[in-house]
Chain A
Amino acid sequence: MTTNTTNVHIRTKINGQPHEFLAPSYMSLLDALREIVGLTGTKEGCLDGNCGACTVNMNGRIVDSCLVLAAEIDGGEVETVEGMASSDGLHPLQKAFLEEAALQCGICTPGFLVAAKGLLDNEPKPSEYRIRHWLAGNLCRCTGYDKIVKAVQKVATNN
C-alpha cells in the first residue's frame, strides 16, 4: 500500500441505515459502496462523469458517485438503488420499469432509477421534455430511451 495517505473514518447513512467504515483517502464513493459496503447495485461505466451508471442520491441531490470521494459522505446521507424498494414492495418506478420493459441488459437501470426518483421526488408531474432533459446524464445503449421515458411518465401520471 502507499505510504503517504491515510484512511478516512466515515460515518454516514446509506439507504437509511447507519454505516461506519474506513476508506482510503483517494477512494471514490462508487468504489466504497461497491467494495467496502458491499452494495454492488451502483455500476461503473466510464469513471469520468459521462454515463450516469454510478448515479446515487447524495444529501438530496443526484450525483455521479465516481466523481465523489468516499471521504465526502462523512456526516451525510446516500441513497442507492438498493434503498428504493421497501418492505411494502418495489418502488413505483421499479414496478413501472418492469411493466414497461424499460430495461434490456439492465446495467444502466440502477442509475436511471435513482436519477428518475430524484426528479419525481421534487417534480411529480414533469413533461416529456423535462424527463428527457433530466435523464440526459444517463446513457443507455440498449433501449433508445423510449420505454424508459414511458415508464417514468407512467409513474408521473399516477402521481
Chain B
Amino acid sequence: MVQTFEPKSNYKVIGSRPVRHDGFDKVTGRAIYGADVKLPGLIWGALARSPHAHAIVKSIDTSEAEKTPGVLGVITSKDMPETEDKMIDLGEGDENPRWTSNRLMASTKVIYRGHPVAAVAAADRYVAEEAAKKVKVEYEILPVHNDVDSALADQAQIIIDGMVGDDLGEEVKNTNMALHERYDFGDVDKAFKDAAYIEENTYTMQMVHQGYIEPHNATAFWDEEDRVKVWTSTQGAFTARTALASLLQLDVSRIKVTPCEIGGGFGGKIPVYLEPIAALLSKKTGRPVKMVMERTAVFETTGPTPGGKVWVKIGADTNGKLIAAESKIWFEAGCNPGSMIGPAAQCIYAPYDIPNTRIDSYDVVVNKPKVAPYRAPGSPQVAYAMESAVDDLCDKAGWDSMEFRISNASTQGTRRGDGVRFSVIGTKDVVNATKSSDHWNSDLGTAPEGKVRGRGISNGYWFNIGLKSSVNLNVNNDGTVTLIEGSTDIGGSRASISMQAAEELGIPAEDVRPSIVDTDSVGYTDVTGGSRTTYATGFAAWKAANNLVDELKGRVAMLWSEGTGELGKDDVTFESGVFRSKAEPQKSISFKKLADKLDDLGGPAISTGSVDLESAGDGFGMHIADIEVDLATGKTDVIRYTAVQDVGKAIHPSYVEGQMQGGAVQGIGWALNEEYYMQDEGGMANSSFLDYRMPTSLDLPEIETVIVEIPTPLHPYGVRGVGEVPICPPLAAIGNAIKDALGVRLTDLPMNPGRIIEALKK
C-alpha cells in the first residue's frame, strides 16, 4: 500500500531560502572534500595505465617500479581477490563484479585506453606517478571498436570474452551486443498506414562526460584486523561499501565508508574506481593510501554517458493527433555492458500521449570507458531525437509546435513507452507555463549583420526514483535538533532535508543541524542521484520528525502528569512547534522549552525514520532557447534561455533554480561543443578541459527559470525530484532554434560551428 498525501499550504519553512547549513565551511575553504583528507602516515598511490584501447596483456614487469627509491609497494591484478561472476545492484544499474574487478585492474586484457595495469604507492605523489610510468607491459594489440557500427560489424573483434548477448530473450554468442529489448504496444504498423503525416530521421550523438570539476579520489586504510576504512567523494557511501565488499571479498561489516564533501557527481561518482585500489595498496604497505585521479584519466577511464544512434519515426492524423511512434536506440555501453537503454525507453515518448508505440533498444560494448549515469541517463539522447522529429513533423504539416505539444501532452493514465501508466503529472501545465512565459512572449530581436537568430523549444522528462533512505533525529537541550543522514550533499540537499524536518517540528530551519555520516552511523541510504534525495531522504526526515513529535508528546504528558501517570500521548496535541493540552488548550509548551526539560523527563529524545519508496513523482520540463548564428563561421551564441519545470513542490527555491540552471547549461554544452573525439587507433584525443569544451561564464546568458508546482501525492509536501529533468530539453531546444534560424535540421551532436557551416553549404 503506497502512502499518499494531499497537497498542503501555509508552510512556515518550506519554500523559504535559508542559508545552507554547510555554506559557511564551503565559502571559507574549510569543508573537507575527498582530496583534503589527511591522516597520520598517509602515502600516495598512482596507477600505471594502458596506452592501448584493446590489447592482450602478455606480461607485466613491475621490477623497475619496485626498485625506484621511495616506492613502498606495487600491486597488479594478482593482488585483486577473485570475485563473483554475477550481477549486483548499485542503485542506478547492475554490474558484474568479475568484469568490474578486471576493469579496475586489468588481468589478461585491456579493453579501453587508460585501463589500469598496476598501482604504485610512495610517500611522495610525484615519485608514485613517475614510478608508475616505469611499469613495463607487453601488449598484443587488437582491433579497436570506437562506435556501435564498428562493434556490430561482421567479424568484429569480441571485446568481452565469453559474454553472452540477450537478443529479445534469445542467447547470442560471439557478439558485442549485450542486450536487445523491445517494447511494443498497440499496432504501430497499422497506425503508420493510417497516418496523414510521418516524420522519420536518424540522430547521432557522441559520448560526453559529466565534467565535474573535482577529480575522483579515495583514501583507504586496511588495518591489521582486516577492517578497511575508506574516505571518498562518492554519491553513495552505502553503495560504495557494497561494491567494495564484493571487489575485496569482505563482509560489509568490515568496511566503513566515510563520504567526504563531494565536488560534483551527476551520477559519475556512484561507481568506485580508486577505492579498491587504494585499499589494496594500503593492505600491501600497511599505511593509509590516498589517490587522486588525474584529469585525463577522469575523462578516459571513468563513466561518461553513451553516444550512439537513435532512429525515430512518428506519425500523426489529419487533426494533429500523434497516433504512432517507433524508435530504435543503439547506445554504446563502453567496455562492459550496462548503458541506459531501459531508462531511454521509459523516457522517449513520455511527454506525449501516443496510443501505438514500439521501441527496440540495443546495448553495445565498445572500446571506450564503461558508461556511468549522467543526469537522466539515456533521456537527453532520446529527447534530442524525439523533440527534433516533433518539430519537423509540425513543419511538414504546417502546425504550431507549441500547440501540438499541448494537444498531444501526456496526462494521468497515458501509457509510457515501456508500458507504465502515469499518475498525476504536470506535462500540460509545463507547456502552458512555457507558452505564457515572458520569454516566449518576447520578441526574438534582430541579429546584427552577418548573423541570424532563431528560437526553439523542447520537452524533457525523467521518472525520478525513490529507494531507501534513513534519518536519525536527536533533540539538544537548546531546542535544536541534530539530523543524521547518509545522503551525500552535492547540491544543497542537506538544507532541503533539514527544512522538511524543521517544517514538521515547527522550528526554524537554522535549528536543524544536519550531518552526513559514514556507513556505521546511520541506516542504509541509497545514492544521491536519480533526483531522489530531497524526495526520499526528505520523506525519511519527515517520518523521523513525526516519530519524534510522537515521542515528545509522551514527555509532555509526563511533564503535565506531575508524577501521577494520568496523562498519555493522546492527551497532547502538536501544531506549529507548540504542544498543547487537549483538555486545557491554554496549557502549552513550545518545542524549545520542552527540549530544555528533557533531562528530567526520561532523558534524551531521539527518533528515526526510514523509507523504501518504490516510485516517485514524474518530472516534466520545457526549455526555450534563443540563439544567434554567425553565417560565415557557424559560431552559435545562446542569447536568451528559459527553463520551465514541474518540481511538485520547491522546498528551497534557490536550489531548485540552481538544479534547473546547472542541468540546462550541461545540456547547452552537450548541444554545441562537447564530445569524445576518438582517435582511429582508439582513445579520446581531447581529454582535457582545453579541448573538451564545457561552457564558461562568458558563453552563457542569464538562465531564467519558471517553477511549476503540481504536487505529487507520493510525498508529504508533494516533492518531485528536480535534478535530472533539466539536462533533457536543451539538446533539441537548440537544434530546433538552429532550424528556425537557418532552415537546416542538424541531426548529429554536437552541433558545432564546423557542422553548421557544412549544413549551410548543402
Contacts and interface: CB of A to CB of B under 8 A. Distances in A.
Interface string B24-64: 10111111110110100000000000000000000000000
B689 A142 contact: no
A94 to B, nearest CB: 4
B210 A141 contact: yes
B263 to A, nearest CB: 3
Given A45-B213, A101-B17, A2 B69 contact: yes
Of listed A41, A101, A140, residue having the most chain B CB within 10 A: A101
A144 B64 CA distance: 46
Contacts of B702: 146, 149
Q: Could you say which of B23, B689, B697, B699 has the most chain A C-beta atoms within 10 Å of its C-beta?
A: B697
Nearest to B44: A35
B234 to A, nearest CB: 13
Interface in B674-728: 688-690, 694-700, 702-703
A20 to B, nearest CB: 21
A107 B263 contact: yes
A45 B29 contact: no
A59 interface: no
A118 to B, nearest CB: 15
B124 A1 contact: yes
Nearest to A99: B19
A101 B698 contact: no
Nearest to B295: A46
Contacts of B699: 136
A58 to B, nearest CB: 17
B414 interface: no
Contacts of B367: none
Contacts of B24: 90, 98
A85 B213 contact: no
B697 A138 contact: yes
Given A48-B689, A104-B662, A84 B28 contact: yes
Contacts of A149: 697, 702
A27 B127 CA distance: 12
Interface in A117-143: 131-133, 135-143
B733 interface: no
B263 A105 contact: yes
A142 B261 CA distance: 14
Nearest to B652: A101
Contacts of B491: 104-105, 142
A48 B27 contact: no
Given A105-B491, A107-B33, A142-B658, A47 B263 contact: no
Interface string B735-752: 000000000000000000
B295 A140 contact: no
B490 A104 contact: yes
A148 interface: yes
Contact of B28 (A85, A131, A140, A144): A85
A24 B126 contact: yes
Nearest to A90: B27
Which of B20, B28, B30, B265 counts the most A-chain CB atoms under 10 A from its CB? B28
A93 to B, nearest CB: 8
A26 to B, nearest CB: 7
A106 interface: yes
Contacts of A80: 29
A147 B688 contact: no
A143 B662 contact: yes
Contact of A144 (B23, B210, B703): B703
Interface in A49-87: 50-51, 53, 80-82, 84-85
A132 B688 CA distance: 22
Given A51-B213, A98-B27, A144-B703, A40 B36 contact: yes
A113 B24 CA distance: 13
Given A46-B688, A48-B688, A39 B658 contact: no
Nearest to B654: A101
B29 A141 contact: no
Interface in A3-57: 3, 24, 26-27, 31, 34, 38-48, 50-51, 53
Contacts of B659: 104
A150 B106 CA distance: 48
A147 B263 contact: no
A81 B664 CA distance: 29
Contact of A147 (B124, B210, B661): B661
B630 to A, nearest CB: 18
A34 B292 CA distance: 13
B666 interface: yes
B69 A105 contact: no
A151 to B, nearest CB: 10
Contact of A135 (B20, B32, B292, B697): B697
B510 interface: no
Interface string B634-664: 0000000000000000000011011101101
A141 B215 contact: no
B214 interface: yes
B698 to A, nearest CB: 4
B552 interface: no
Nearest to B694: A139
Contact of B690 (A2, A50, A84, A133): A50
Contacts of B213: 43, 45, 51, 53, 105, 107-108, 139-141
A144 B689 contact: no
Interface string B198-227: 000000000000111111000000000000
Contacts of B662: 104, 141-144
A140 to B, nearest CB: 7
A105 B262 contact: yes
B264 interface: yes
B492 interface: yes
Contacts of A48: 295, 688-690
Contacts of B376: none
Contacts of A140: 213, 697
B666 A136 contact: no
Contacts of B35: 40, 43-44
Contacts of A39: 29
Nearest to B655: A101
Nearest to A50: B689
Contacts of A141: 210-213, 264, 266, 662, 666, 694
B703 A1 contact: no
In the complex, which of the residues B22, B214, B700, B703 has the most CB atoms of chain A within 10 Å of its own CB atom?
B214
Nearest to A35: B125
Contacts of B69: 1-3
The 6 closest A-B pairs by CB, nearest first: A41-B29, A107-B263, A144-B665, A101-B654, A106-B26, A50-B689
Given A53-B213, A137-B696, 19 more contacts: A1-B69, A1-B70, A39-B29, A40-B32, A40-B36, A41-B29, A42-B29, A43-B213, A44-B35, A48-B295, A50-B689, A94-B28, A101-B655, A105-B212, A107-B214, A139-B694, A141-B266, A141-B662, A144-B703
12 contacts: A48-B689, A82-B28, A84-B28, A90-B28, A98-B27, A107-B213, A108-B213, A131-B697, A135-B698, A143-B662, A144-B664, A145-B665
